[in-house]
Structures are given as C-alpha cells and as structure tokens.
Amino acid sequence: MGTNVISSNVLSGFHAFPPGISRKESASAECMTHTEPSIKEYLIENIGGKEIPIQIPDVAWSGSAVEKILGFLRLLPNWDGYGAPSLKIDCILMAIDVITFITQENTPEPTIFPTSDEGVQIEWHTDKAELEVEVTHDLKLLVLFDDPHGNKYDWEMSLYSSPDLQRIINCVRQLA
C-alpha cells in the first residue's frame, strides 16, 4: 500500500499547516461499530524534530478541525493581547485525541478555539444538546454537558479511562 505525501501548501480539504509540518496519508482502517467512522492515519512531521503519527475520524469536518488545532502551534506568547502563553504540543495532541476518540459518524462539526491558559476548547451546540470539552494546560479534561431534557452536568475526566470515555461518547450521541 502506497503512502501519499501531500505538500504543506497543497492540502486537499486542508489549509496550510504551520511551517515545517506536513502530512502523509495512508489508507483508512476498518471501523469497530456501525456508528464509528473509519479512521485516517496521518504523520505530522517536524514537531520538535519528531514525526508524530495521528489517527482522525474520516468525517467531513475532521481534517479542518485537526488543521485548526495544529494551527494553534503558531500562536506566539501574548497571542490574545493579555499575556497568554503559547500552547504546548501535548495539549494540542490531546485535543486531537478528543476529536478522534469521541467522534461518531453523525457528530456535528465542533467550534474549536485556544484558551488563554494554554488550553483548547472544543464545543458542540445543537438544538438537542450542548457539549463543551476543555483540554487544560495540565492535560485534564473539563466537560460541561446540557442534555436534551435540560439537565446540566459538569465533571473532570481522563480521556484515557474507559468509563470516562464511554460517558462522553454517550453525550456526543445525544447531539445529533
């Protein structure tokens, strides 16, 4: 199976990566259930002299979401005019993991933005429910969820804990 190398200036469906970062795309993996999208594998090159493999869900908006998150690497100190520091690569990669782990085939496109305390905020707002996930600078996840019945929940979680992951996936399913 061949791997396509795509120039950082000519990315189909993507905007330009930060300088020194390009991607290699390989074939999609099989999905595990009927609600999980297939996965695309990418290689982010030249982050601190390393190549970092990532996998993202193969849904219409996933490439632009990952591109936006990777773009936060370009933020210089004081990017918000109030002294906000640059974001750390670990936080950026965890935000990509959030997208990868919780996205279902019908998950709507999120709004994504950096926070002034070195984090990344990922939000979904639909007519049915609202979900906000903040990846903090110390790699915690803070979750706010308003369910379809008007109940509000907030909790701190680990993305890499099976019960926590299942809880947030259940929230995502209620968005559509």
Give 75's DSSP letter: P
Question: Other C-beta atoms within 10 Å of 63: how many?
Answer: 21
Structural domain of 138: 4-173
The pLDDT tens digits along the chain (176 residues) read 333 332 232 223 333 334 444 444 433 333 334 467 787 777 776 556 677 777 788 888 988 898 899 899 889 999 999 999 999 888 999 999 999 889 988 999 999 999 999 999 999 999 999 999 999 999 999 999 999 999 999 999 988 888 888 999 999 999 98
| Interatomic CA distance for residues 47 and 8, integer angstroms | 14
Residues 66 and 55: beta-carbon distance below 8 Å: no
pLDDT for residue 14 = 32
Q: Facing residues of 41 across strands?
A: 26, 55
The domain tally of the chain equals 1
pLDDT for residue 10 = 27
pLDDT for residue 91 = 93
Q: What is the pTM of this model?
A: 0.77
Contacts of 8 (CB under 8 A, 6+ apart): 16, 17, 19, 21, 22, 23
